[in-house]
Chain A
């Protein structure tokens, strides 16, 4: 079956541009996560959705970052007025169960964002 897909795989933006990153989770998965992975670092949590509800956005670094999942499936992470420090790989993960500390998460290949 299809795994988690993300698009675009690569995005180059000029500083100050807005970008939108898409995540298609595994069909039927309830939970959806976004992580940010800077070069040479481990992924860091950004936000969590349970169906269409955004239950945790504690990891979003600034109010320039916004995520949505309006119908409880596809999710979009939007970054406004991009800055060079936003350059990273953005990973999406989904899980078939609702939130809890032991969730097995299935990761997409990520979107590599480069801000010039």
Chain B
């Protein structure tokens, strides 16, 4: 089984709607990273969460870390076509952020 499970696997939302992507770890989290990837391209860093209860926002994207549940959520408010892509959570396994393990990914499509 995967160490990092993301849900849902894929998501189609209408422009303007809100959405949430979840990332659950089966092992202790030292840090949680969120990245976005367009098909066949590199990863774009979104946010890094290191402390339980931490919440960060950037433009219309908010991420939270629940250390006790070993879970993180990514919430997008008023989605836009530019939000489309694959969202990946990455977990720091070593406490050094050198060994990142990525989640299974969530493919987001935003329709007009």
Pair from one complex: no
